[in-house]
């Protein structure tokens, strides 16, 4: 059986496992005060190009989103997201559980268009009753998006400028960031994110780690008492080293990008196999998630030898499905898929 | 200056004030345990036709919505509302402040269409990932809606049945309920609400009281410890009698309906005046809120002698405005408006 | 039957009712933007002696405490209170409902002693694990306390200084403030509160109003978007005038202090009656709440002709009870009580 | 340098690491639906002796406490804990962040005494004002406690019965459960916990795992939608297998108890070393945490060659310190400590 459901189907990249083994019996202090975590922080600060950035390691994506967003908002403030954004749909109301509304905007293949954002904010502040509504104070975007698409540098510059013009902060969900950085045509570097976002996270769980996400806050003091906030949200790992060692490894010798490049390369081969078989992608994704609208009988036949996800409800004659590659996808798997088409 | 901004521009109906004066120096116990509150409860139980109904008096609409909705939901459960619903837009995130998401459906002139609700719930439970989403457990509708429109009895029966088929409870916001009950063509009685809704509230603030909303819960034990929940939401009035006396008066001698009838009657005259002047309503509202799309110069001219609200952003040549009547709107005011058109 | 249960057993002071009647049919805008509310704000700013103070009117005490405290705290921050404080015990967890812990200190007759507060804060910040705990960021005190006692000016100066030295804000619950201001021996003026507290409220519900509490924030911008926060907590009254008119009346012609003086004067007569009958107060309270430890048979006998509250659990031979006077307590009631002893 | 700060200073037990390595490239579905997690659940159900128990794996202790407690409580309900309980002190308000109060009882060496609990609940429900307070609906205890002490089976039976008599559920924090089960004199089995507690968790982080806690719910449906609740609290691990594999290993071949026995055995040697040097324990702990009141000069001298924690503020001449052993504590470390005394 082949598996293209997701990018979290294996454990960790072998180099990450090796380091966890090699350091296993070291005795370290807890809660992220150990030397591995400090080293990982330094490596990420350097990658981001901001010596003042604050870096924290949390365990998973939903947890990271809820903790950062709640910590950046107060009282009546809300976060603006694409209606297809992960926090809007697939996080079981984790943001609302912290007391804050997720305001949604129509999205184009997962992306918020700057014109839509600008018009929304202009209309909001022009509305005489806005004090009776929640206040948009933060924008949430993802790179790549839930549809595999990417913001260009120009788009990101504009979104950042628009947010700041209306007093909003910008937060970027990089659950699959490695696959964005490695995509052909991508012109947004991790340093750009450090410059344009008030906060973002570098996804580990889906890019080579057992678990773990690295939160990068632009400036010291952006979130006072963030250590305690992490604890309060149940997101502080006692053995912080588990995250520190993993990110130390991912950010040494270019491993994070290597994970990204492998998955993207396999995704392009997968896309080519579908195209060669006469199926054009439903979305033009340059990253590790590929979407196709396929005849239901083909879907049924493929399902006998491989797993993948439906994307949206199943249609009467054809349906949209998602195939995902990862740092671990083998050439054999791609070849077998191609042969099956 | 004339005022058509809203239905909360005066104090209370003179009969309500009289009763407050007459009872002012009575000594009563607090928190709704006094005889006036008990009497008001009995009157409402009788009006609703349900001797098992539990009746509580809260102070205002947003407070009532947040308190009841939070008490009916647990953890990952959410409330479904029209995207134009008051809780979705104009309550500053009061529901989200209690930790629950407001799921929104497209609405037609303020109303949720039963087909839309049914399709949404069917698709939701058919989605294999639904456990990663909030669970729709309650539907919120308003009667009349924020656009002055009404659900027919047939529509309400269907919405109630659809909710219960999918395991949702039904809650109805009756902030302006008196104006619905008194509307021409309305076929939904307060007894129907008691039968079809798990919970609803009878609005006092906008229908003759200084403040106050009467919550009706269908069965004993629907919300355990609701007294404490009210307290916890800061919604328990120490001098509960202030609410009890008002609702006692409104539900004696038909005063509540009398308030409703007066406002609706004045609204129909107002609508006729606009129609006679050549302006057709933007929405066909049978209640005390009337909406018109008027040329901007006319709006400017009217604004010199009267106040009213813009409804949505102002257009380049014409804009939509709202005129509201109440139990207190005088014939003179309507005549002056007609003369000004 | 006589009633000494509480100070919220009547409606409003007759002068307040008169003004509500006189202004009843005025048409005003909503949500506290009317001229009466603006006037009431100006009167309170003047009384407080701070032209920069922001004044808002909310409906009840629990609501006011939760709204102000939640708005002054963020994330992991907590409020410190006496273990007997109203927010610690009798508000059904309204503060915790907003996500914040109430840290409690041992109290002396309802008061926090400055030494206790200072030692607590010094130990807290000296504890190496304090980032794993909630952060004390606000102190809550009441004047008079739940035991009728008062902070002296010297004590209040010290508490305020201690709070500010450790980075805490100071918030004072003045649910019964009028009875403190009128107490013999009291040396704390309302101007002192405006100077020493970051926020406090002037209680209306228990001092002559139907309902209503006036929140005073020391400086502009102390709580950004406080209007929206009030709405979000369900504490924004549509007919804001109802509160505005009442506080306008209470702060004209010295009515607020007059209410206070009457109740205190009656309480002193009541205390004298008990003393004359051989019962010394359990607590030396100079305000309108009086506490006595009485033999159970006497309690039983008094209960036949009057109502009052047990204060703590009933003992085997004697129990502690509370008698409360108000602006409305008559000479006849005091005389009848004295006769019954 | 020796380290006795805590039981989370190393990675995972070597056998756990081996299994993680051996299964690393297996492809599994996410979110705890993989075969290792299913196997781990079955092993724990068997250990608990309850085929109907529901078992879920979460990442850390604070997260587990907040998620379970919030899911067991609704609205105005609260959890009762020892004032020294971990949720009361060292979880940065994670329970309050979910909207619920932690009611605290005086404790004896970390334990709630059944008489204290019974009196508290009896007084609570006898108090006429209890509807103005939060409702105790759950009791939280820990085994071993934060002071290393244990409840006996008789005590646990009584606490469970008392809780259930007053309508409370019982939840037990087993962060260090392995060290309780292995303690000399302990008569509480894991089957007893499954019988007497409505919910409890088996700690992995401190007993041999990299991270992970296994929640055991007594009956099906105790918490409806608990999967979604876990997600909502940010506690759902995408690679659920990471937890599944670890608990599968810990609950195979008696490894969990082996970890416990090793740590307890080393703790007893450590205690003996102190006793031999003339220092009696401050608390009679039969588990892996040992507390001593030592002269400050000795503390200073020991600090040169080893790390450990102050327990409470430092005294003028002597202070209380904590030494902790774990599954990984070596004989050499104990010998070196003994030599240093």
Query: Are C9 and B30 a contacting pair at CB < 8 A?
Result: yes
Which whole number is the average pLDDT over C305-317?
90
Bridge partners of B324? B289
Touching subunits of A (3+ CB pairs, under 8 Å) are B, C, D
Between D98, D135, D224, which is nearest B225 by CB? D135
- Residue C221 has what pLDDT? 87
- Joined together, the tokens standing for residue C233 give 């907590």
Average pLDDT over residues D156-172: 98
Most A CBs within 10 Å, among D5, D6, D11, D248, to test the A interface = D11
Record: contact C96-D134, CB cut-off 8 A: yes
Give the mean pLDDT of chain A.
97
CA distance D80 to A40: 40
Q: For residue C278, how far is the Cα from the chain centroid?
A: 31
CB contact under 8 A, C228 and A71: no
| Per-residue pLDDT at A311 exceeds 80 | yes
Q: What is the mean pLDDT of residues B181-189?
A: 98
Phi, psi values for residue A224, rounded to 5°: -65, 145
Residues making up chain B, counted from first to last: 341
The span from the CA of B42 to the CA of B276, in Å, is 45
The residue among C99, C58, C105 whose CA lies nearest residue C234 is C58
Q: What is the pLDDT of residues B14-50, one digit of tens each?
A: 999 999 999 999 999 999 999 999 999 999 999 999 9
For residue C219, name the pLDDT band (cuts at 50, 70, 90).
confident
pLDDT one-digit tens code per residue, D89-133: 999 999 999 999 999 999 999 999 999 999 999 999 998 889 999
| Measured distance CA(C85)–CA(C299) in Å, rounded | 26
> For D133, which residue in chain C has the nearest alpha carbon?
C92
Query: Per residue in B90-118, pLDDT tens?
Result: 999 999 999 999 999 999 999 999 999 99
The two tokens of residue C200 are: 């406090």
| Phi, psi (deg, nearest 5) at residue A290 | -125, 135
Over chain B, what is the mean pLDDT? Answer: 97
Q: Is D90 exposed, middle or buried (0-12, 13-18, 19+ CB in 10 A)?
A: middle
Find residue C141's DSSP bridge partners: C172
Which residue in A has a C-alpha nearest to residue C98's C-alpha? A99
How sure is the predictor about C312, in pLDDT bands with cuts at 50, 70 and 90? Answer: confident
Task: Examine the pLDDT at A128 and tell me if it is beyond 90.
Answer: no
Return the residue matching tokens 């705290």: C73
Across the interface, whether the CB atoms of B90 and A129 are under 8 A apart is answered yes
Task: Using CB atoms, pick whichever of B90, B92, B101 lies closest to residue A96.
Answer: B101
Decide if pLDDT at C299 tops 90. Answer: yes
- The percent helix, strand, coil of chain B (3-state, each to 5) is 40, 20, 40
Compute how many other C-beta atoms are within 10 angstroms of the C-beta atom of residue A254: 11
Task: Enumerate the residues of chain A whose CB falls inside 8 A of the CB of residue B78.
Answer: 93, 96
Q: Work out the number of other CB atoms within 10 angstroms of the CB of residue A21.
A: 17
B240-259: pLDDT as tens digits: 999 999 999 999 999 999 99
Q: What is the pLDDT of residue A221?
A: 87
CB–CB contact A231 C132 (8 Å)? yes
Could you check whether the bond before residue D208 is cis, i.e. omega within 30 degrees of 0?
no
Phi/psi-derived region of residue B30, left when phi > 0, alpha when psi is between -120 and 50, beta in every other case: beta
Answer whether the bond into residue D144 is a cis peptide, omega within 30°. Answer: yes
Rounded Cα distance, A28 and C180, in Å: 57
Predicted confidence (pLDDT) per residue in A264-293, tens digit: 999 999 999 999 999 999 999 999 999 999
Tokens of A339: 């042969």
Give mean pLDDT, residues C244-259: 98
Q: Angle at which helices C35-48 and C241-250 pack, to 10 degrees?
A: 40
A309-310 and B213-217 strand pairing? unpaired
pLDDT band with cut points at 50, 70 and 90 for residue D9: very high
| Nearest residue of chain D to residue C75 (CA atoms) | D97
C107: closest CA of chain A, how far (Å): 28
- A228 and C132 within 8 Å at the Cβ level: the answer is yes
- The per-residue pLDDT for D173 is 98
Q: How close is the nearest chain A Cα to the Cα of B167, in Å?
A: 18
Count of CB pairs separated by less than 8 Å, C with D? 60
Cβ neighbours of residue C255 closer than 8 Å, sequence gap 6 or more: C13, C15, C16, C208, C249
Distances D58 to A232, D63, D140 between C-alpha atoms, Å: 16, 8, 18
CB-based contact C134 A232, cutoff 8 Å = yes
How far is residue A4's CA from residue A289's CA, in Å, rounded to a whole number? 9
Q: Inform me whether the pLDDT recorded for C4 exceeds 80.
A: yes
ipTM above 0.95, yes or no: yes
pLDDT of amino acid A313: 75
The C-alpha atoms of residue B85 and residue D223 are separated, in whole angstroms, by 31
pLDDT of residue A314: 82
d(CA B304, CA B338): 14
Q: B175 vs chain D: nearest CA distance in angstroms? A: 24
Whether the Cβ atoms of residue D213 and residue D8 lie closer than 8 Å to each other = no
User: Which tokens is B333 given?
Assistant: 């005011």
Per the CB < 8 Å rule, is B231 touching D76? Answer: yes
The answer to whether C234 contacts B25, with C-beta atoms less than 8 Å apart, is: no
Mean pLDDT over residues A225-247, rounded?
97
Give me the long-range contacts of A328-331 (CB less than 8 A, separation at least 24): A328/A9, A328/A10, A328/A13, A328/D25, A329/A4, A329/A262, A329/A263, A329/A266, A331/A266
CA angle A6–A11–A14, rounded 5-degree value? 120
pLDDT band at B220; cut points 50, 70, 90: confident
3-class DSSP assignment, residue A289:
strand
> pLDDT digits over D165-208, tens only?
999 999 999 999 999 999 999 999 999 999 999 999 999 999 99
Q: How many angstroms separate the CA atoms of D141 and D200, rounded? A: 9
B11 contacts in chain C (CB < 8 Å)? 20, 23-26, 239, 241-242
Predicted confidence at residue A312, as pLDDT, reads 77
* Cβ contact D133–B228 (<8 Å): yes
User: What does chain C come to in residues?
Assistant: 341
Q: How many residue pairs from chains B and D have C-beta atoms closer than 8 A? A: 51
Judging contacts by C-beta atoms under 8 Å, the chain B residues touching residue C237 are: 59-60, 211
- pLDDT bracket for residue D221 (50, 70, 90): confident
A1-44 per-position pLDDT tens digit: 999 999 999 999 999 999 999 999 999 999 999 999 999 999 99
- Using a CB-CB cut-off of 8 Å, the residues of chain A touching D63 are 234-235
Residues on chain B touching C59 (C-beta within 8 angstroms): 59-60, 211, 237
The model's pLDDT over A145-173, given as tens digits with 9 standing for 90+, comes to: 999 999 999 999 999 999 999 999 999 99
């Amino acid at each position: 059986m082949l598996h293209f459901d997701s990018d979290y189907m294996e454990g960790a990249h072998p180099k990450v496992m090796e380091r966890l083994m090699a350091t296993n019996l070291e005795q370290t202090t807890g809660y992220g005060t150990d030397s591995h975590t400090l080293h990982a922080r330094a490596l990420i600060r350097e990658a981001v190009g901001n010596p003042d950035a604050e870096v924290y390691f949390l365990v998973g994506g939903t947890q990271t989103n809820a903790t950062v967003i709640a910590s950046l908002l107060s009282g009546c403030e809300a976060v603006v997201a694409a209606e297809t954004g992960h926090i809007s749909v697939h996080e079981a109301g984790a943001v609302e559980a912290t007391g804050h509304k997720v305001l949604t905007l129509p999205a184009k293949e997962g992306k918020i268009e700057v014109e839509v954002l600008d018009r929304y904010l202009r209309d909001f502040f022009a509305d005489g009753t806005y004090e009776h509504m929640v206040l948009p104070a933060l924008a949430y975007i993802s790179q790549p998006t839930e549809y595999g698409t990417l913001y260009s540098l120009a788009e990101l510059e504009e979104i950042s400028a628009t947010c700041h013009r209306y007093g909003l902060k910008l937060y970027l969900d990089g659950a699959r960031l490695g696959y964005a950085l490695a995509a052909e045509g991508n012109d947004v570097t991790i340093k750009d994110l450090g410059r344009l976002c008030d906060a973002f996270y570098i996804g580990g769980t889906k890019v080579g780690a057992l678990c773990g996400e690295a939160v990068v806050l632009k400036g010291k003091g952006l979130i006072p008492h963030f250590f305690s906030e992490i604890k309060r949200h149940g997101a502080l790992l006692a053995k912080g080293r588990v995250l520190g060692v993993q990110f130390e490894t991912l950010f040494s010798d270019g491993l994070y990008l290597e994970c990204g490049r492998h998955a993207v390369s396999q995704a392009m081969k997968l896309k080519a196999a579908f195209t060669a078989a006469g199926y054009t992608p439903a979305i033009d994704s340059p990253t590790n998630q590929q979407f196709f609208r396929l005849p239901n009988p083909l879907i049924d036949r493929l399902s006998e030898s491989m797993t993948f996800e439906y994307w949206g409800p199943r249609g009467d004659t054809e349906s949209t499905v998602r195939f995902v590659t990862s740092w671990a996808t083998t050439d054999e798997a791609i070849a077998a898929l191609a042969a099956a088409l």
